[in-house]
Structure 1
Amino acid sequence: MKKKILIVDDEFSIQMLLQHFLSSQYEVETKSSGREALEWLNENLPDLIISDIQMHEMNGFEFLKAVRLRGYTKHTPIIMLSGKVESKERIKCYQLGAQDYLTKPFNPVELEEVVKKNLFPIYYASNW
């Protein structure tokens, strides 16, 4: 059974790009807003979440905080995406509970490695 990844981004092109890179190995679900993703999470539990930070309606920080406050998604790995490279934003993501942070445009190979690292941490630990 394929691992399930939830992608949350209000840019359709980023949703499609991420889906293109990940759908051959994983089951991918896309949502256009944090609120839409939270509704989906009421009945679904992904193995990993990838979320943009700059979104309308509910930004990625608010979404991340809401996911961490839910009991059943408290430990779900989250990778945050942003067009900003400032360390202040990255640090805020880590403080709110994100496992990783990638800047746009992202390198597809780096994306693949960060996804694998979060979905299969024991595999990576045994290869060190």
Structure 2
Amino acid sequence: MSANILLVDDEPRLREAVQAYLEDSGFNIQVASNAREAWQFIEQATPDLVISDIMMPQVSGYEFLKQMRSDERFANLPVIFLTARGMTSDRIAGYQAGCDAYLPKPFDPDELVAIIENLLRRNPQPAMVANATPEINDLAGQLAEIKALLKQKTPENQSSIVTTPPPIKIEFTPREQSVLELVVEGLMNKEIARRLGTTIRNVEKYVSRLFSKTGTSSRTELVRYALQHGLVT
């Protein structure tokens, strides 16, 4: 599967040239013209690697990188600085901020591709293994527990589940609510993706958000929490 790369640069001509070259090299490229736009992209769908300029308006590449490194979701996301600032002090500042590679402009596109391929080999991201499946035994165990919980929810056994309000108010987006309801039905990510017309990667993102919002760490815990607190009908 081709790697998904986010390219962040406020110079349209350079951005378009790098995008074209990397797409010709087999990568999937998404572009952003500033750090704020880039942050919205990575929150929606985490890329496999980020290439960022340093000198950008409002939020610099340094600040953007520090923001990523302070968020556990993106702490290990490979980042390449592609910038006109090539002084030793600038490179040191980049590495101190947490970049994985620093390539001064002008640069050789083939060198950029080589750096990308090297980083992706060393740092495989969840997005690159989105189709990987959990251990069969563990998955079977979770499905069995979920089915047992669902049996308690049938009309004849409705009294066996005592629902109470969640300890904190939880607000789900419409998409998160849809994913939650399908998880409670006992569907796995591939089935949910097919039902909602989206990708497995996006479903994984929503399930992760559900874990975070409910304080759970497995599908079984999530289903139990949703049933106990009346989060699904």
Q: Which runs of structure 2 are paired with 1:110-121 in the superposition (5 Å)? A: 110-121=111-122
How far does the alpha carbon of each residue in 1:5-26 deviate from its partner, in whole angstroms, 9 at most, with x for none?
A: 0000001111111111111311
Amino acid at match of 1:35: R
**Partner Cα separation in structure 1 for residue 7 and residue 58 of structure 2:** 16
Q: Kindly, what percent of the aligned residue pairs are identical?
A: 36
Q: How far is 1:4 from its partner?
A: 0.3
* Alignment-mate amino acid for residue 93 of structure 1: G
| Partner residue, 2:206 | none
Match of 1:38 in 2: 39
Q: Which residue of 1 aligns with 2:218?
A: none
Displacement of 1:69 in angstroms is 1.1
Number of equivalences: 122
Q: Which amino acid aligns with 1:63?
A: F
- Number of the residue aligned with 1:60: 61
How many angstroms apart in 1 are the aligned matches of 2:88 and 2:20?
28
Amino acid at match of 1:15: R
The answer to whether structure 1 residue 3 and structure 2 residue 3 are counterparts is yes
TM-superposition CA deviations, 1:65-101 (whole Å, max 9, x none): 0111111111000000111221101011111110000
| Aligned equivalent of 1:125 | none
Higher strand proportion: 1
Match of 2:71 in 1: 70
Counterpart for residue 50 of structure 1: 51
Alignment of 1:24-35 (within 5 A): 24=24, 25-35=26-36
- For the residues of structure 1 that align with 2:42 and 2:85, how far apart are their CA atoms? 27
- TM-score, structure 2 normalization: 0.51
Match of 1:126 in 2: none
Say which is worse superposed, 113-122 or 31-40, in terms of deviation: 113-122
**Comparing both chains, which one has the higher relative contact order based on Cα–Cα distances under 8 Å and sequence gaps of 6 or more?**
1
Unpaired runs of at least 5, structure 2: 124-233
Q: Which residue of 1 aligns with 2:133?
A: none
Displacement of 1:41 after TM fit? 1.4
Measure how far apart 1:121 and its partner are.
2.6
Give me the CA root mean square deviation. Answer: 1.1
Return the letter of the residue paired with 1:9. Answer: D
Whole-angstrom CA distance in 1 between matches of 2:39 and 2:115: 23
